[in-house]
Copies of this chain bind each other. A is one copy, B any other.
Amino acid sequence: MSQSKTLRLLMPQWQGGGNNPAYPLGARLLEWLAPKGNSPTIEVPIKPYDASSIQKERGIVEQSVLLEQLQKCTDIIKQHQPEKIIVFGGDCLVEQAPISYLNQRYDGNLGVLWMDAHPDVTTPKEFQHEHAMVLGNLLGEGDPVFAAKVPVKLNPKKVMFGGLPKTTEQETEVIQRLGLRQATPFELADNSHSIVEWIKEENVTKLFIHIDLDVLDASLFRALLFADPNKEAGFFDHIIHGEMTLPQLTRVVQDTAAVTNVVGVGITEHMPWDAIHLQNMLNQFPLLKD
């Protein structure tokens, strides 16, 4: 029996994004929508959503539960020893175990393309939600408790951001100090040249592509935090919004795959509000439970 070389992970984690019950359905719907492929999907056990029990520990919401779930995900990956990993999240923190494993497997040479409206390099000083620290953790920054779980840190030269509209002062400091490259939504609007050049210049031969769907323009793709129809206009104005279109994002991924070996893809932060609200209604209908 030949073992599948690609592992598909479903990780409906919500705790890293804070008090938001939309994540689990979003993760499951992503997996349902994706092509079926030839490898089975393994689900990482996640503590179910329960608003009443949410705790903040050492500045981080649900830190100990997140550490347990990180360990479970790591254990599943080690058991399978895959060459490639697909991740259906869940909040962005779901990427930590897969990227950490792949970077170790590929001797610290893993490239990471971070398609996201946010660089995820904050620390517990600025923020309370671990999903905004995950790339920092993988670089040896971020949250020291989580960074300590990464045996081989990412090489900053092998990390590039795509689709960041702008960054905060703290994020800018980290990006500049580590010399992390980036391509703005404007630069990626018509072509993917800057990313292809980075792959060639840094000789990225194994690439993980992280996608936080919030890199997309929320008026064109509404399954995002910022497009919650029950929040009044302006509610999320203080948070940076993505500006890319789905065809632009698709083209970037395809152009990238044409010039390097993609060994991982993670898709995160899917919040299908209409599906959630529709499901809530159907759950209250007569006859449907017959």
Closest to A264 in B: B287
> Is A193 close to B, CB under 8 A?
no
Query: Which of B29, B229, B281 contacts A250 (CB under 8 A)?
Result: B281
**Contact between A35 and B281, CB atoms less than 8 A apart:** no
Using known A-B contacts A222-B222, A257-B286, A285-B265, determine if residue A274 contacts B272 with beta carbons closer than 8 Å.
yes
Contact flags (1/0) for A190-234 with B, using CB distance below 8 Å? 000000000000000000000001000001111100000110000
Chain copies in the assembled complex: 2
Does A32 belong to the interface (CB within 8 Å)? yes
Is B284 within 8 A of A254, CB to CB? yes
Tell me whether A249 and B29 are in contact in the complex, defined as CB-CB below 8 angstroms, given that A86-B288, A229-B222, A288-B37 are known contacts.
no
Q: Measured between C-beta atoms, what is the minimum distance from A239 to chain B in Å?
A: 20
Q: How far is the CA of A265 from the CA of B288 in the complex (A)?
A: 8
Q: Report the contact-size class of chain A (Cβ under 8 Å from the partner).
A: 35 or more
**Cβ B84 vs Cβ A274 within 8 A:** no
Most B Cβ at <10 Å: residue of A32, A257, A272, A281: A281
Write the nearest CB–CB distance from A162 to chain B, whole angstroms. Answer: 15
Q: Which of A1-60 contact B (CB under 8 A)?
A: 5-6, 29-30, 32-35, 37-39
Interface mask (A263-280 → B, CB under 8 Å = 1, otherwise 0): 111010010111101111
A270 to B, closest residue via Cβ: B278
A289, CB-defined interface residue at 8 Å: yes
- Interface: A174 (CB within 8 A): no
Main secondary structure of the interface of A (DSSP, over half): mixed
Given contacts A229-B220, A250-B281, contact A286 B262 (CB under 8 A): yes
Cross-chain contact A6 with B290 (CB below 8 angstroms): yes
A257 surroundings in chain B (CB, below 8 A): 285-286
Q: Among B6, B223, B264, B283, point to the contact of A275 (Cβ < 8 A).
A: B223
Contact residues in B for A282 (Cβ distance below 8 Å): 30, 33-35, 267
- A253 interface contact, C-beta 8 A: yes
The answer to whether A287 and B262 have CB atoms under 8 Å apart is yes
CB of A269, distance to nearest CB on chain B (Å): 12
Cβ–Cβ < 8 Å partners of A29 in chain B: 275
Question: How far in angstroms is the closest Cβ of chain B from A213?
Answer: 8
Seed contacts A34-B279, A39-B290, A274-B274; 6 additional CB < 8 Å A-B pairs: A33-B282, A84-B287, A86-B290, A213-B278, A223-B275, A264-B287
